[in-house]
Amino acid sequence: MSLTITTTKLPLRTLLSKSAKTCCTIISLAPRRQFFFKSWSRGARVQEEPGWRPAVYGPSRRTKEQVKQRQEQQQESKRAKDQGAAVKDTSDVGHADGKLAKSIMVNIDGDPKVFDTVFLRDSCTCPQCVDPHSKNKLFQTSDIPADFEGSYKAVVDADKGPSIELEWKTDVKGYGPDHRTRHSIDWLRRALNTEVELRAFIRHDDRVLWDKNKIVKDNKWVDYESYMTKDETLFDALTHLNKYGLLFIKNVPDSEQSVVTLASRVGNLKDTFYGRTWDVRSKPKAENIAYTPMFLGLHMDLLYTSNPPHLQLLHSLRAGAPGGESFFSDSFAAAHQLKRQSESMFRTLCTFPVTYHYHHPTYHYHFTRPVIELFPFPKYSEPTNLAIRRVNWSPPFQAPFEARIGSNNSTSLRSFVAASHAYEKLLSAEENLYEYRLNEGECVIFDNRRILHARKAFDATKGERWLKGAYVDDDVFFSKLKVLEEKYEGKWVAEGVVREAVK
């Protein structure tokens, strides 16, 4: 498919012009690029700078000449700063086009903020740059010249409100001289906040950790009909599910299709080798312990795959067999408890590799991961902000360890065993377990990367027990949650940062 750039004229938006009251001051910042240290002397180092620390300043001490250059550089940057301040003070509000520059300074909420013109050009959403229907970008970042420059003026856009309009010196190939880019002040503010939050490791996290008492008090039951027909109910349900990792639906129709209908309300179902949906009922010579009437300990599903399912749905179709109670445990809460008990055990579970597998004649899955995964440092996690991304715990599906098995490494294996013992104790502690026996017509939905599930043995000879299950991927779940967040709260969360919905 070839990509053509249309020459559609920009839709005429009402320009309330410069006389309109705008909340922004736009001023020119034409930075003079200076190159220092252009002549690293290879000659004799006379009178090197005193107090030079290689670990801080680099491998070579600077010569007297270089020290002089550095002082000049500092003076120059101070001059540039003062100049910037002068430009700011004498600027005209919303005046005509400014000078061409690589960066521009926009006054947002009283503070001058600098934006790279490459960023502003790259983010252009005009119909020439982003297809209005597909929302696909019609040019590439790599098409923008490296020495890109632009100028700008203040406008009030009919749709976007107070905005800046940018004009480009040498635009991307294929764009005519009439091409303009507009960004609202609200959009610029959001871009700035996002960057600041990402850099400052501010992480939005509204998950609520729970133990038995908390979940008994906070548990949510949602009516099937309301969940299926009202977006408000769905938003409320999915928000709760994201916070607690656990949700119950009642009055679910007695049909094998119901679990599909429930999952489809979130999005596409995740298909696995178990099928698009699967049945949990006992059968002879079962290929999975789940398909027996035996006790099944706390675990997560499909950890032997590279992207295990995020949501798991279990709809109870038949609950005639005595026993078979379900258990749930919040692995994140237990991880926090373990960290308070022993920092070193917590670290062991963050690092020691555990292999999971599904090794059968027709399918052979194999994946290795640590028990606790944190958000990558330093973006989100820091010692004071324990940002657990997910937990991996599925003893029945563990494979032999593949690392640290030799006698030289037995210390780390022994450390892992001790840490996993302590963690297991917390996971299955009476006060951390939530027990519930699903009745017919009820469906539980839980976060398979956080909430462990287990089941007591049941007596298959005295009645039928039949659960119908389905999975939904993380991308699908978070997409739906963002759509609803945007609709009902005017904001959405991605990568741990709250983003205001702005034009």
DSSP run (H or E) holding 76? helix 64-90
Residue count at the site for Zn ion (CB under 5 A)? 4
Considering the complex, state which of residue 148 and residue 365 has its C-beta at the smaller distance from Zn ion. 148
In angstroms, give the least distance from the CB of 315 to Zn ion.
Answer: 49
In angstroms, give the least distance from the CB of 178 to Zn ion.
Answer: 11
CA-based torsion, 13, 18, 19, 24: positive or negative: positive
Peptide bond into 378 cis (omega under 30): yes
Bridging pattern class, strands 161-168 and 150-157: antiparallel
The whole-angstrom distance between residue 200's C-alpha and the CA centroid of its chain comes to 16
- Which SS3 state, helix, strand or coil, does residue 412 take? helix
* Cα gap 353→349, rounded to integer Å: 8
In angstroms, give the least distance from the CB of 149 to Zn ion.
Answer: 16
In angstroms, give the least distance from the CB of 165 to Zn ion.
Answer: 11
In angstroms, give the least distance from the CB of 413 to Zn ion.
Answer: 58
Which of 417, 188, 468, 125 lies closest to 314, judged by CA?
A: 468
* Cα gap 164→31, rounded to integer Å: 20
In angstroms, give the least distance from the CB of 130 to Zn ion.
Answer: 7
Say if residues 179 and 171 touch (Cβ distance below 8 Å): yes
Considering the complex, state which of residue 24 and residue 129 has its C-beta at the smaller distance from Zn ion. 129
Considering the complex, state which of residue 129 and residue 191 has its C-beta at the smaller distance from Zn ion. 129
201 φ/ψ sector (left φ>0, alpha ψ -120 to 50, else beta): left
Tell me the CB-side half-sphere exposure of residue 152, using CA atoms within 13 A: 34
Which of 186, 192, 191 lies closest to 162, judged by CA?
A: 186
Binders of Zn ion among residues 85 to 124 (CB under 5 A) are: 124
Considering the complex, state which of residue 126 and residue 192 has its C-beta at the smaller distance from Zn ion. 126
In angstroms, give the least distance from the CB of 126 to Zn ion.
Answer: 3
Beta-carbon contacts of 313 under 8 Å, excluding residues fewer than 6 positions away, are 259, 262, 263, 443, 444, 445, 469, 470, 471, 472
Considering the complex, state which of residue 181 and residue 348 has its C-beta at the smaller distance from Zn ion. 181
Which of 334, 349, 324 lies closest to 432, judged by CA?
A: 334
Considering the complex, state which of residue 63 and residue 128 has its C-beta at the smaller distance from Zn ion. 128
What x-and-dash track marks residues 117-146 binding Zn ion by CB under 5 A?
A: -------x-x-xx-----------------
Binders of Zn ion among residues 449 to 468 (CB under 5 A) are: none
Considering the complex, state which of residue 180 and residue 369 has its C-beta at the smaller distance from Zn ion. 180
In angstroms, give the least distance from the CB of 121 to Zn ion.
Answer: 8
The contact set with Zn ion (CB under 5 A) reads 124, 126, 128-129
